[in-house]
Amino acid sequence: MQKKLLLLLGLILFLTSCTTYPKDIPLEPTPREINSPKELSERLASEYIYWQNHLTYLDGTPVTPDPVTQLINDLQITSVPISKFSHNGRYLVYVHKVFSTIGLWDLETNERRDLINTKEEVADNATIGAVTFSPNDDKVFFYVTWHSDDGTMYADVATIDIATGNIEQLNITYFQAGFYGLEISSDGKWAVTNTITPDNLVCFLINLETHQVECLNIKKGTYTSSKFALDNTHIVYSYTKDVASPSSIMLSKIDGAKNKVLVSGLVRLARIPIVTNDEFVFIGREYNDLVCAHVYVMNLDGSDLRKLSYLGGECSSNE
């Protein structure tokens, strides 16, 4: 099953790279443009995203120093590394050495050290797909895949204690996440991954108390950039039915009682870097502008979609 899911991911990435998109699909609801950060809430203005090759506050001010850009330069890579800031802002955890090693950067002391090499601790073919912090920043959770001698693919979530280095493989029952992504709820009771679902069971919620996956009553497709709302009862995520379909951003209750489309008509899968108590931020492309991505803010109740025009676009010439 895991092998099929990973092959399906590769197929989707290939097809989306050469798909011809129509230009008559509107973004719904219609966003209103914000030309000044003064219209942002105080909470959002102090949040930051990686934008136009630099870590940037949503008010448009560059973050200096910029540890993500420094990490890109130090690791000699050309794209944003798999990484995550701790909740208290002190640490940056990142993946390097061909997706096999988790590094920890203490931004207060400037010390860097490796927490784990999965080729030594898990399997010699293990690959790390995502990293994130526990709610109190004492552990790093990571998503890892490996395969046995007969080619069977396996996937699991594990933790490593920052202070002691102790590793715990959680042995998630029926874990079938198709590809990378991992977030932990602020109460530490849930995890959510990204997934490609080949059937009608959409199971990317993980109950960290029972170590089992749980399924949502939503349609099969591709789910990415899943984030918990701060109430720990809702998740926000990007969804697309297939490579030829527009993408949406959706809101679901963990108990499956509600599934709501917040935004529709996006090209490919949107990225959702920030979710607060009542708002969320996403980065996406509209069909009438296939070259440039833009930053948007929306209320979690589905009202007031705003395009942060003052941030400009992140544009590509090879679409």
pLDDT tens figures, 21-72: 666 799 999 999 999 999 999 899 999 999 999 999 999 999 999 999 999 9
On whether the CB atoms of residues 295 and 58 are closer than 8 A, the answer is: yes
Question: Is the peptide bond prior to 273 cis by the omega test (within 30 degrees of 0)?
Answer: no
Q: At 227, which helix (H) or strand (E)?
A: strand 222-228
Q: What is the CATH number of the domain that holds 297?
A: 2.120.10
Burial state string for 16-50 with b = 16 or more CB within 10 A and e = fewer than 16: beeeeeeeebebeeebeebeebeebeeebbebbbb
Total Cβ atoms within 10 A of residue 56:
18
42 contacts: CB under 8 Å, gap ≥ 6: none
Q: How far apart are CA 82 and CA 64, in angstroms?
A: 20
| Displacement of CA 20 from its chain's centroid (Å) | 25
* pLDDT per residue as tens digits for the range 293-307: 999 999 999 999 999
Using left for φ > 0, alpha for ψ between -120 and 50, and beta otherwise, residue 311 falls in: alpha
Count each helix (H run) and each strand (E run) in the chain, helices first. 4, 23
Locus of tokens 């039915």: 241
Is 87 contained in some domain? Answer: no
Which amino acid, 146? W
Residue 52 falls inside a structural domain: yes
Assigned domain for 154 exists: no
Instruction: Note the pLDDT of residue 317.
Output: 67
Q: What is the pLDDT of residue 12?
A: 45
Domain count, the chain: 1
Quickly list DSSP for 69-101.
HHHHHHHT-SS--SEEE-TTSSEEEEEETTTTE
In a domain, 242, yes or no: yes
Residue 176 lies in a domain: yes
- 258 in a structural domain: yes
Identify the domain containing residue 206 by its residue range.
2-81+172-312
| SS3 call for 37 | helix
Stretches where the chain sits below pLDDT 70 are 1-23, 175-180, 198, 317-319
For 305-318, the pLDDT digits (tens) are 999 999 999 998 65
